[in-house]
Structure 1
Amino acid sequence: MPYTPSRSVSASERRPSRCASSTSSSAWLAPSRNEKFDLHHSGAYTCASVQLRASPCQRSGRCGIYTRDRHRESTWRNRNLRSGNLQEIFVCHHGGVSVPPSSVVHVHHRGDRGVDGILRLIELASHDGPLEATLCAMCDELAAIAEVDIASVYVRESERLVMRGNHGFPPSAIGATALAVGEGITGLVAECMRPVSAAHAAAEAAYKPVPGLGEERFPVFVGIPLIGGGAVIGVLVLQRRATPFTTDEVTLATALGAPVTLAIERRRAAAVRSARLHGLAHVGGAVLGRAAAITTTTALAAPPIDLDRAMTRLRDDLGRAVRRLGSIEIPAVGAALDRFALALCDQRLRERLAAAADHPAGLRSVARAYARAPYRLGATSDAADHAAEVEQLCVLIGDTRTLRPGAIWIADRIGAFVAIVAVARGAAALVAGDAVSPAAIAVARAAQLPTVSDVPGLFGWARPDDLLAVDGDTGTVLIHPAPADIERLRQAAR
């Protein structure tokens, strides 16, 4: 239904109406169109079409579309018809346009087969299990989305294309079906790096049958090249019994190949950076998880720091750690918890932190002052240990990231305060490139938290969010472990 202005525009109002822009420029409504607005209503927006007079940033007048969000009645968006630029402006009150209510948002809930399937494909692309299992699960989703009988993923291995994922053929075909690049229609797809479709594949000169596969029952074929780094890394093949693939269906299949390409590329990148490192084992247990790097005061982010919020969070961490470790009668654990509680209650330290929170490198300066004190005063090793714990506290205050449960905490050195917070936040393991303090080992052992220290080259190999496997019994740390190692760890954890 068309909409009209709530009132006509009087002659006195027929003058340039200035619109204050969100940018430094201004847009002007031309007088010739100010007395009449062409209103359009489409979906979520109400639109007014007006002629723009040239502004300092716009040399020629042109027609623009102004869309208005019903939740922000003073806000219009200028969608320039010629250049496609988006500019937010505020139309003056005397424009005289009423905006009828309209629906703005439609949430696509679960149950939409296509949307659910695509989101599932994206999720599967980030999985860390065996490649064949991941690609087979993706083929199941691809077959459902594209409404085909057969979905296959061939992965390029040297000059061969090996089927590593499938929906519709017997499981024995996976890993046993292989074609050379350029061989068959699938090989042609890899060779020309373009989608190829056929209404009856067996009638094509390039067709090569695979004995025992039974693909002649599904003659309608489309193959999509999976391209990564400018080269073909695989081919996605969809087949069905009847009805040739339309151009729109080929376009959809090409888009569906993107998450499959991502899954293959992630595995290849991980394989390049796989490593087996060995350190000193302190607390046993085998775990698998993502790396979460504990920074140093030198690498802390710039202020401002919400000190009150950070201290409250650390007090909550202390409370959770006490509930988990408080009943354990190990003197070193109790002493570490007491020191952490005293540090959080230290008013002098808090004042220093508050004074430094708003300054660049403020937390670093506090940590540096405490680190220098034992050497300047000739104090004992206990004072040096206290200075190291204050530095850890500064790191925990400045590092505002929420480390998810199950992460493997990696650091250059690990002290008691980091170990206490790791226990409180559900870390899966502790790994240090250098040393782990005796108090931290006691805390980790009380919480049965696998711990490994003195791992050479840890930060040369591991990056945040890398997949790690830690064996606390042997001191082994695997960076991007092989599927066989992953399955072994999962079986051991059961």
Structure 2
Amino acid sequence: MLDVLRRIVLEVSAANNLTEALEIIVRRVRQELQIDVCSVYLRDTASESQQQMLLMASEGLNPESIGQVAMKAGEGLVGLVAERAEPVNLENAPDHPRFKYFPETGEERFHAFLGVPIVHHRRLLGVLVVQQRERRSFDDEHVAFLITLAAQLAGAISHAELSGEVSNHRGQIKQENLQISGIAGSPGVAVGKGVVAYTLADLDSVPDKAPDSIKAEEAAFKRAVASVQAELDEIKQRMTAVLPAGEQLLFDAYAMMLRGDSLIKRTIDHIHSGNWAPAALRDTVRENTRAFDEMEDPYLRERAADVRDIGRRILKHLQAPSIAEEKFPERTILVGEDLTATHLAEVPPERLVGVVSSRGTGSSHVAILARAMGIPAVMGVEDLPVGRLEDRELVVDGYRGTLYVQPSPELLEAFKHLQEEERELTEGLRELAQEPAITTDGIEVPVYANSGLLADIQPSLQSGADGIGLYRTEVPFMIRERFPGEGEQSRIYRDVLEPFDPKPVILRTLDVGGDKALPYFPVVEDNPFLGWRGIRITLDHPEIFLTQLRAMLRASVGLSNLHIMFPMIGALSELKGALQLLQRARDELLDEGYAVDMPKVGVMVEVPSAVYLAETLARRVDFLSVGTNDLVQYLLAVDRNNPRVAALYDGMHPAVLHALKQAAEGAHRAGKSISVCGEMAADPAAVILLLGLEIDALSVSVASLARIKWVIRSFSRERAKELLDQCLTMEEPVAIRALLDNALVQAGLGGLVRAGKN
């Protein structure tokens, strides 16, 4: 059965559309199980209630009934399967009280009935049915086979539904307001026209072909490479005004690929082996990306995307060297299967308003650059029908990681209204951002800025931030092709520290692993989030750690604002090891004649064990800072980069609140301060709770800073404590959220209530 299932799945995957896929399934299931009838009923998205089940394909029933027979919710045996969302296996279907006879199907001859639900992400899509003339109960093997097949079919149906194929099959108008979920990559809301990246250059579609002239093919390939090199040089020059030199190294990495033997020489070798240039390039790209694609680590898969991007660019010039430069609409939303940083750079900055990629995470190059440029982005949209989004009206909700396709006039108006409200709110809060964040009962709560790019520093200075609460030092490592040296790192850190002096700047030591990997230092693990990451890597590689610590200390000479923070501390021994290396780095520099002071040192609370060790850790450092992104992930056992479980990731979960309470109390018992630098610090509702917990400081993105200051200035600590006490008695995150949203509205901050309510 497994072999049969595998063959059917392969055939279905190769189908050109949903209709063909369904026909393959009903034909092959009927053939392999040696039964009389196999049919597929799908939820009718054209019906008002969307609860009606429509016969979409069948082998064995009257062909004229396909597309005509429909059952309402709870009607007939198909309706029973849909209602229960579990298999129904009957020896003689007509005897069942829910049986309903449809004369147009010709099914009066069939007695045995087995129906299994087709479910995708908890949503019922349809029912798969098999029938037989004789009276019999289908055995467990048949039931298991159909359940497995239905699960495989669910993804294909969902994708087809989003593509509009279900509606098009019935001749209906394309659906409006198709909502597709992904991962929030960069905050904000964008409304515009979809532009699909590289609709012409498809490496996988290139056929084999013997060249008429090997020399001519080689020459054409070299010309295409030269054109791409020129193209990348032009892009890099264009981005000079948008990104500083450090972040432009990514484009240098692309240029290195174009000079490397692994791409150029291998392609020429394939040409000389008897293939034309496009197919030779295709084979080279496949060889170079195969190893990356098989890796679990998301960042290493991003490297494969870079190789494919270069391959597509070369192919585009091979296929159509005279194609004019693409014209981008005034409000371009860039869409792609595997978007890369250079795709963003190709669009004139004043025209790019949103980004949507079916692959990638919040830590991919595209997401990092989108945040730096202030462009809303949704990543990891698994069911994205990329090929159908060209020139379609789209709405990108970068707050919730949601894409809306073909929005109705009403929805479009609602989001445009939200955009206008956000613009007005931002303008109205501009002056407030320069004021200190003081509660109504006189308690000042510093609000710092999170950063990871040098491009963020100037906006952070102008935003009214009280300092940098988290500088992610791994970002300069991620956009290079090697470990940056001590002098190089020191210059980067100096550029961060100096503009803010004497305001504090917290440099977090290298935090890679999990969903953040380095291309030149691969970490391949079955479970990277629970593996070798953060402080575990740097303690195992003191040569890397000491270089970074020395660079930080050297950068602080003559300044007074350096704070160093260690990530992923889960045990006291790890903290002791890190402190010993920091002391060693300082002693070495003192011996070399550098006048370096010992900076203030902190620990990130993001591993659950650190919550219970908060007081112990705080007694040995100067401050604690809660990284709620990872803490929530670990407490709730939810991968925050996985859209399949995104709904389970909730900072308002009671377990999270109790953990934060314990961490704050532990820090304060030790007489030390505690801040929050994760996403919860930028959530207006959560900020109320953080005030009640007596969190001493917050650190947020520049875009969120003014709004968070507004929340702090609108509540007293006593009122926040009252709300916190109420929330700590609640058992459901939705109830906690509702209470806090209501408190925001009562305080006159209704404009800050989650975009999801609009």
* TM-score of the pair, normalised by structure 2: 0.29
Higher relative contact order (CA 8 A, sep 6+): 1
Where is the helix percentage greater, Structure 1 or Structure 2? 2
TM-score by length of structure 1 reads: 0.43
